Amino acid sequence: MAQTTANKMTLTLSSDREIAVTRAFDAPRSLVWEACNSCEHMKYWWGPRGFDLVECSMDLQPGGKYRFVQKAPDGTIHGFNGVYREIAAPERIVFTQIYEPFPDQEVLVATTLTETGGKTALSQTLTFASKEARDGMVASGMEWGQAQTFERLEELLASLLGGEAPSGVGAGASTGAASSPLVVTREFDAPRDLVWKAWTEPDRLARWWGSPGSAIEVARLDLRPGGVFHYSMKTPNGTPMWALFAYREIVPTERIVFVNSFSDAAGGLTRNPWIATWPLEILNTLTLAERGGKTTVTLRGGPINATAEELQAFEAGRAGMQDGFAGTFKQLDGYLAEAQARA
């Protein structure tokens, strides 16, 4: 069994058709999972140094498809695509991968994340159709490329943990995310189970979500990947406004990934009624962490599939969004206190 180590990464030829890769990251598993499974973050690290991720699309569900396109330093384009076979967030993901110049050489990739003491071990097994295909991958410089890729991932994780804007993305990247996500964090004096219910049960959500003074009416809440939260919000002046969450990932009591958009009564996407250049879609990751009976809520969000004009509008609106979430989370704080007092 041949084994080599490069820049904290260990690569093992574990069988005639397999390559096993392991790497430890100084970050919690939930953040490693998020960084590995969203275009918003992958544009900063997916590929060796000098390579840009210029296209990224993901339908993160069993049977869903993805496609990534890299631009090499010499200007050549390299496309990869595949299908998700298994998703058990934030622990394990299995997918096929095809390098598009060789469409008949499919590789099965299985990745497992294990957290210990706030650090995460990544274990990845690549299974090839033949020994010749595996040996060809090794000879192509895979070890060097994967080691550099994981170095870039480690740098991204450090910047996210430090609250800094990530760096290192090439100018040609067009994955549709802003330069850095909007991050809102708040600790609530309530257990995680109750906070989760406040985010996921329609009667509770309607009690606090939205801008202060507005009334929420829930049309539909279908809490599952592919489901939606469709609601109207009536402002103090009586004008109704529709909005939509499109759920992508649900990890009960821990994590929700959803796309937030303005909407209409039929559930279609519409433009922001006040800012015409506002992004149509905002990808959000909500995480809940409990310690000592209190729950820290972190919401990270940024535009996807956005134009340069839309990205500019999002950047200009950061201060207003922070103020808006401060008011909304104040309402959640009040609801949680009231709910515990009634219990």
Find the mean pLDDT for residues 248-275. 92
What does residue 76 show for φ and ψ, rounded to 5 degrees? Answer: -70, 155
- In a domain, residue 226? The reply is yes
Residues 290 and 247 in one domain: yes
Domain of 85, CATH number, reads 3.30.530.20
pLDDT at 3: 54
Task: Give pTM, 2 decimals.
Answer: 0.55
Residue 198 sits in the same domain as residue 147: no
Kindly report the CA angle at 98 between 51 and 39, in degrees rounded to 5? 50
Specify whether 107 is located in the same domain as 69: yes
Q: Do the domain assignments include residue 292? A: yes
**26, 149: one domain:** yes
How high is the pLDDT of residue 170? 42
Q: Are residues 224 and 138 in the same domain?
A: no
**Which pLDDT does position 163 carry in this prediction?**
65
Q: Give the per-residue pLDDT at 159.
A: 86
H or E element in which residue 115 lies: strand 106-116
Residue 175 falls within a domain, yes or no?
Answer: no
The last residue of a domain, from among 161, 194, 225: 161
> For the residues 192-210, what does the mean pLDDT come to?
96
% of the chain beyond a pLDDT of 70:
92
* Total domains in the fold of the chain: 2
Of 111, 132, 161, the domain-final residue: 161
- As a whole number, mean pLDDT of residues 245-267 equals 92
pLDDT over threshold 70, residue 180 = no
| pLDDT at residue 214, as a whole number | 86
Q: What is the mean pLDDT of residues 65-92?
A: 93
Confidence of residue 173 (pLDDT cuts 50, 70, 90): very low
152 and 201 part of one domain: no
Residue-wise pLDDT for 269-301, tens only, equals 999 988 999 999 998 889 999 999 999 999 988
Residues 151 and 188 in one domain: no
Question: Coil, helix or strand for 313?
Answer: helix
Average pLDDT over residues 75-97: 94
Q: Are residues 187 and 130 in the same domain?
A: no
Q: Confirm whether 297 is domain-assigned.
A: yes
Query: Do 137 and 222 reside in the same domain of the chain?
Result: no
The tens digit of pLDDT for each residue in 31-66 reads: 999 999 999 899 999 999 888 999 999 998 899 999
Which residue's structure tokens are 């800094």? 164
Q: Please give the C-alpha separations between residue 134 and each of 107, 263, 321, in angstroms, as whole numbers.
A: 9, 48, 49
**Residue 73 lies in domain:** 3-161
- pLDDT value at position 164? 64
- Residue 143 pLDDT exceeds 70: yes
Q: What string of H, E and C letters represents the secondary structure of 224-288? A: CCCCEEEEEEECCCCCEEEEEEEEEEEECCCEEEEEEEEECCCCCECCCCCCCCCCCCEEEEEEE
Residue 238 pLDDT > 50? yes
Positive or negative, the CA dihedral 140, 143, 148, 153 is: positive
The residue out of 112, 130, 161 marking a domain boundary is 161
**Under 8 Å between Cβ of 236 and 227:** no
- What is residue 325's three-state secondary structure? helix
Confidence of residue 169 (pLDDT cuts 50, 70, 90): very low
Same-domain status, 275 and 142: no
Using the 8-state DSSP alphabet, how is residue 164 labeled? P
What pLDDT is recorded for position 188? 97
In this predicted structure, the answer to whether residue 81 has a pLDDT above a threshold of 90 is: yes
Residue 175's pLDDT is what?
40
Residue 170 forms part of a structural domain: no
Between CA 322 and CA 48 the distance in angstroms is 35
Question: Positive or negative CA dihedral for 170, 173, 175, 181?
Answer: positive
222 or 166: which leads in pLDDT: 222
pLDDT tens profile 183-196: 899 999 999 999 99
The overall average pLDDT reported for the chain is 89
